[in-house]
A and B are shown apart, each in its own frame.
Chain A
Amino acid sequence: MKVLRIAAAALLLLLCTGVLFADVPVREEQFIYSILAFNGRDYAGTFAREEADTIYLVADVDNFITVRNVFVYFWPITQDWKTDTSTLNVPFEGTLELGGRQAEPEKLGMTPYTYYNIRGEYELNWKVAKEAEAEAAWQHYQGLMDAYWRSVSEYYEKRAAYEAMLNELTITITRMRNEGKDVTALIDALRELKAPPEPQYPTEYIVPPVPVQKAFILNLPVGEYQIRFFTEDGQIMEGSERRIVAFEKRRAEAIGLEVIPGDKWTRPVESKTPASVLYIDGSTDLYIRPFFQQEYNDLFYEKMRKNDAKGNPTLMKWVRIQQVPRARVEVTRPSLESQMVLEEPFYVEQVKGAALGYQIVPFDPEGKHKDREPSLQAFHVPISKDQRVIRLRVQDKEGQYLPSSQRQIRIVTPSRIGIVSLILAVLPLAVMIIVMARRSRRYTS
Chain B
Amino acid sequence: MIQTKNLTKRYGKFTAVDQVNLNIPAGEIYGFLGPNGAGKTSTIMMLLGIVKPTTGEIRLFDEPYSPKRLDLRRRIGVVPEKHPQGMWTWMTAGEYLQMFAELFGLEDSGKRIDHLLERVGLAEVKNKKFSEFSRGMVQKLSIVRALLHDPDILFLDEPISGLDPFGVKQIRDLILEENREGRTIFISSHILSEMEKVCQRVAIIFSGKLMAEDQMKSLLTTLAKDREIHVDLEELPADLAAKVKTLDFVQDATGEEKTLIVKVPKTGDYRKALSKYLIDQDLVPLSIHEKSLSLEEAFVTITKENINLFAGIGGEK
**A–B direct touch, CB within 8 Å, in complex?**
yes
Kindly list chain B residues whose C-beta atoms are within 8 Å of the C-beta of A443: 92, 127-129
Q: Which of B85-140 contact A (CB under 8 A)?
A: 92, 127-129, 132
Kindly list chain B residues whose C-beta atoms are within 8 Å of the C-beta of A445: 128-129, 132
Q: In whole angstroms, how far apart are the Cα atoms of A445 and B129 in the complex? A: 8
B91 and chain A: residue at smallest CB distance? A443
Type the 1/0 row for A427-445, where 1 means its CB is closer than 8 Å to any CB of B. 0000000000000000101
Instruction: Report A445 CB to chain B, min CB distance, Å.
Output: 6
Instruction: Report A441 CB to chain B, min CB distance, Å.
Output: 12
Kindly list chain A residues whose C-beta atoms are within 8 Å of the C-beta of B128: 443, 445
Q: In whole angstroms, how far apart are the Cα atoms of A443 and B127 in the complex? A: 7
Instruction: Report A271 CB to chain B, min CB distance, Å.
Output: 53
Kindly list chain A residues whose C-beta atoms are within 8 Å of the C-beta of B92: 443
Instruction: Report B128 CB to chain A, min CB distance, Å.
Output: 6
Instruction: Report A407 CB to chain B, min CB distance, Å.
Output: 53
Q: In whole angstroms, how far apart are the Cα atoms of A443 and B126 in the complex? A: 10
Kindly list chain A residues whose C-beta atoms are within 8 Å of the C-beta of B132: 445
B92 and chain A: residue at smallest CB distance? A443
Instruction: Report B195 CB to chain A, min CB distance, Å.
Output: 36
Q: Which of A199-257 contact B (CB under 8 A)?
A: none
A439 and chain B: residue at smallest CB distance? B90
Q: Is the interface of A mostly helix, strand, loop or mixed?
A: loop
Type the 1/0 row for B158-174, where 1 means its CB is closer than 8 Å to any CB of A. 00000000000000000
Q: How many residues of B contact A (CB 8 A)?
A: 5
Q: Which of A393-445 contact B (CB under 8 A)?
A: 443, 445
A-B contacts, 6 listed (Cβ < 8 Å): A443-B127, A443-B128, A443-B129, A445-B128, A445-B129, A445-B132
User: 7 shortest A-B CB distances, which residue pairs?
Assistant: A445-B132, A443-B129, A445-B128, A443-B92, A443-B127, A445-B129, A443-B128
Instruction: Report B127 CB to chain A, min CB distance, Å.
Output: 6
Kindly list chain A residues whose C-beta atoms are within 8 Å of the C-beta of B129: 443, 445
B128 and chain A: residue at smallest CB distance? A445
Kindly list chain A residues whose C-beta atoms are within 8 Å of the C-beta of B127: 443
Q: In whole angstroms, how far apart are the Cα atoms of A445 and B137 in the complex? A: 15
B131 and chain A: residue at smallest CB distance? A445
B127 and chain A: residue at smallest CB distance? A443
Q: In whole angstroms, how far apart are the Cα atoms of A445 and B133 in the complex? A: 11
Instruction: Report B138 CB to chain A, min CB distance, Å.
Output: 15
Type the 1/0 row for B168-196, where 1 means its CB is closer than 8 Å to any CB of A. 00000000000000000000000000000
Q: In whole angstroms, how far apart are the Cα atoms of A141 and B127 in the complex? A: 100
Q: In whole angstroms, how far apart are the Cα atoms of A421 and B314 in the complex? A: 80
Instruction: Report A350 CB to chain B, min CB distance, Å.
Output: 74
Instruction: Report A444 CB to chain B, min CB distance, Å.
Output: 9
Instruction: Report A384 CB to chain B, min CB distance, Å.
Output: 58
Q: In whole angstroms, how far apart are the Cα atoms of A30 and B224 in the complex? A: 103
Instruction: Report B60 CB to chain A, min CB distance, Å.
Output: 39
Instruction: Report B119 CB to chain A, min CB distance, Å.
Output: 23
Instruction: Report B282 CB to chain A, min CB distance, Å.
Output: 67
Instruction: Report B122 CB to chain A, min CB distance, Å.
Output: 14
Q: In whole angstroms, how far apart are the Cα atoms of A353 and B132 in the complex? A: 83
Q: Which of A175-201 contact B (CB under 8 A)?
A: none
Q: In whole angstroms, how far apart are the Cα atoms of A443 and B92 in the complex? A: 8
Q: In whole angstroms, how far apart are the Cα atoms of A445 and B92 in the complex? A: 11
B90 and chain A: residue at smallest CB distance? A439
Q: Which of B273-297 contact A (CB under 8 A)?
A: none
Instruction: Report B99 CB to chain A, min CB distance, Å.
Output: 16
Q: In whole angstroms, how far apart are the Cα atoms of A445 and B130 in the complex? A: 11
Instruction: Report A364 CB to chain B, min CB distance, Å.
Output: 79
Q: In whole angstroms, how far apart are the Cα atoms of A424 and B92 in the complex? A: 33
Q: In whole angstroms, how far apart are the Cα atoms of A443 and B128 in the complex? A: 6
Instruction: Report B184 CB to chain A, min CB distance, Å.
Output: 37
Q: In whole angstroms, how far apart are the Cα atoms of A181 and B293 in the complex? A: 167
Q: In whole angstroms, how far apart are the Cα atoms of A445 and B132 in the complex? A: 8
Q: In whole angstroms, how far apart are the Cα atoms of A112 and B54 in the complex? A: 84
B132 and chain A: residue at smallest CB distance? A445
